[in-house]
Amino acid sequence: MFVLIVGCGRVGSSVARTMLREGHEVSCLDEDPEAHARLEVNLDRSWEDTGGQFTVGTGLEEEALTAAGIERADAFIASTDGDNTNIVIAQIAKRKFNVPTVIARILDPLRAEWYEKQGVNTICPTRVAIEMLEKEVLEAAGDGTGAGSASGAGTPTS
Amino acid sequence: MGEGTGKYIIIAGAGKVGWNLARELIEKGHEVTVIEDNRNRYTAVEQELEHNIQYGDASELWVLERAGISRADMVIAVTGDDEDNMLICQVAKEKYLVDRIIARVNNPRNRPHFELLGIKPYVSATDLILRLLEHEVPEYGLVHLLDLPEERLEIIEMLLADDSRVAGKRVGDLNMPEGSLLISILREGQGGFVPTPDTVLEAGDEVLAVLDPGLEEELKSFFGSDGAGAG
């Protein structure tokens, strides 16, 4: 599978390394040339020698997306530090370039929820953090019996 | 809603555009809420607009809801960030079913994205200034007078240079590119007139033509000099 990741911060670079290690083709796009260094954390060779691709540019520039290989991408991950940027470029990837799998990282749970309903595949780390925190706190309060959050990642603890 | 023709209008972004827009609209009797997420800017503008401005990020849904987006007749997104403007207009239109939206395009290169997301109309200051510039400096080439994307029509204006290949030709002999039509000629001393087939074009004429979108380049070389003019 060919994966294009836009936004190469902690999340993007980590996913990129994992996908590459799992034998997929990975291309990263970031507006900051320095983001390249992050990709090489814990690698003993350069990102390119490991098989990765890196392009400098933003996800709003079509030339940059094309240079990064969006036309043959099987999956597109929008993981820049801007929610709105991720929402917009995910829709570009989907509607304009017909990428089969498009995932947008959206930190704001409200925006994530609505766009999820609109058919944008979203990951909301804030939601996950909220659920974990709520669970921990409720358990500490001796009330972990399920009264809290509805979407239960309810791993029973004994 | 309510009193007379006054509308409820939400403006995202209290920059120069948003602030002045708010002032004008309030003067015209509309109810306006401006949303601004820069604390300093908010404080400055709040001195004048008072309760007509709220502090917050207009791309947060609860901020829009607090501003009463569900009863808004119009949402105008004029922040300095194109992604924010796109998102605000998209949720205004698709989630809150606001009748009218207007978006500002900061970077003209982002225009296709606004179109892709169905956000229109949009306003690009760069484009407006470019058009003014084209109009003020006719040597610049072809001037867009009117675009009707829905109707798929454009009206353009062009100055015939001294070495224009159509200067001295009868309009009836022109053989204009298919999809274009000469509608008017502006001539020094004569003002504007509608040409007949017998009208002879002169260097220095400004010609107005209606055309299908996409024919600009063809028309430019059709009316242009042998050996191409300025871009």
B1 pLDDT higher than 60: no
B141 pLDDT higher than 80: no
pLDDT digits (tens, 9 = 90+) for A95-129: 999 999 999 999 999 999 999 999 999 999 999 99
Name, in order, each residue with C-beta under 8 angstroms of B189's C-beta and a sequence gap of 6 or more. none
Query: In angstroms, rounded to a whole number, what is the distance separating the alpha carbons of residues B2 and A94?
Result: 41
Put simply, the answer to whether A84 touches B117 (Cβ < 8 Å) is no
Q: Which residues of A touch B (CB under 8 A)?
A: 60-62, 82-85, 87-88, 91-92, 95-96, 108, 110-111, 114, 118
Cβ–Cβ under 8 Å, residues B18 and B11:
yes
pLDDT, residue B7, reads 94
**Strand, coil or helix: what is B151?**
coil
Q: Which residues in chain A are contacts of B82 at CB distance < 8 A?
A: 60
pLDDT-derived band at B220 (thresholds 50, 70, 90) equals confident
Q: Which residues in chain B are contacts of A118 at CB distance < 8 A?
A: 94
At A37, the amino acid letter reads: A
Put simply, the answer to whether B109 touches A118 (Cβ < 8 Å) is no
Full strand arrangement of the beta sheet holding B53-55: B53-55, B31-36, B8-12, B74-77, B100-105, B122-124
Mean pLDDT calculated for residue range B115-139: 78
Q: Which residues in chain A are contacts of B116 at CB distance < 8 A?
A: 91-92, 95-96
Taking the CA atoms of residue B126, residue B130, residue B136 and residue B141 in that order, the dihedral angle to the nearest 10 degrees is 180
pLDDT, residue A145, reads 57
CA dist B75 → A20, A155, B17 (Å) = 44, 44, 14
B33 pLDDT higher than 90: yes
Is B83 within 8 Å of chain A by CB?
A: yes
Query: In angstroms, rounded to a whole number, what is the distance separating the alpha carbons of residues A78 and A71?
Result: 16
pLDDT digits (tens, 9 = 90+) for B100-114: 999 999 998 999 999
ipTM: 0.84
Task: Record the pTM.
Answer: 0.73
pLDDT, residue B125, reads 79
User: A51-55, A107-111, B92-96, B166-170 — which is least confidently predicted?
Assistant: B166-170
Which of B60, B83, B97, B114 has the most A C-beta neighbours within 10 Å, making it the best mutation to test the interface with A? Answer: B83
pLDDT-derived band at A33 (thresholds 50, 70, 90) equals very high
Cβ–Cβ under 8 Å, residues B157 and B207:
yes
pLDDT digits (tens, 9 = 90+) for A39-91: 999 899 999 999 999 999 999 999 999 999 999 999 999 999 999 999 999 99
pLDDT, residue B142, reads 66
Cβ–Cβ under 8 Å, residues B61 and B75:
no
* Helix residue spans in chain B (DSSP H): 16-27, 39-49, 61-66, 82-94, 111-116, 125-136, 216-223
pLDDT, residue A94, reads 97
Put simply, the answer to whether B60 touches A111 (Cβ < 8 Å) is yes
Is B96 within 8 Å of chain A by CB?
A: no
Put simply, the answer to whether A118 touches B94 (Cβ < 8 Å) is yes
> Among all chains, which residue has been given the structure tokens 């809603």?
B1
